[in-house]
Amino acid sequence: MLQWLVDIYNVLFAGGFFEQGNWCEELCGPLTNDAASGGPLDALEAQVGQSFPDLQAKRQAVVNAWRNWQWPDPWYAFWLRPPLLEEYRRQCQEFAEMVDAKREEYLGGEGPVVIGAILPWIKKNWAVLAITGSILAVGITAAVAVSRRK
């Protein structure tokens, strides 16, 4: 009986039922109710002085894919969540490639890599990081002490 429950859990886990995912704010900018703004696209448009409707439409496609992935009813989410998550990730990848291509076309090379989202995350989760680091330090110290006694 226990093996049967473990098998069901493994199938659900492998199927992406428990996948949480994250909004790609560093790629598309902050998410509002129906759209996203900011991010590398707005920075590129400001640098070039031109708007790119094709990239704005692709960013909206990323938002729509995110909303579709977040929306499934829990009763049938097991069947829908994995393909919807893949669609969201595919849209993000395509948007990133399109922004890089436009940046290279208009600015003549690759722009800086967007890593600015890590600092707000660290500021928000500093307590968890500190506690985790303390627990790891105590565990490593205890393991070293035990291994030295043997």
Give the pLDDT score at 53. Answer: 93
Give the pLDDT score at 115. Answer: 59
Q: What is the pTM of this model?
A: 0.59
SS3 of 112, please? coil
- Average pLDDT (119-131) is 78
Minimum mean pLDDT range among 5-19, 88-102, 124-138: 5-19
CA distance 62 to 95: 8
Chain position carrying tokens 């790609």: 24
SS3 of 58, please? helix
- Report in angstroms the alpha-carbon separations of 98 from 20, 24, 48, 52, 66: 26, 15, 15, 11, 18
Q: What is the pLDDT of residues 133-145, one digit of tens each?
A: 888 888 888 888 8
End-to-end CA distance of the chain: 41
Per-residue pLDDT band for 13 (boundaries 50, 70, 90) equals: low
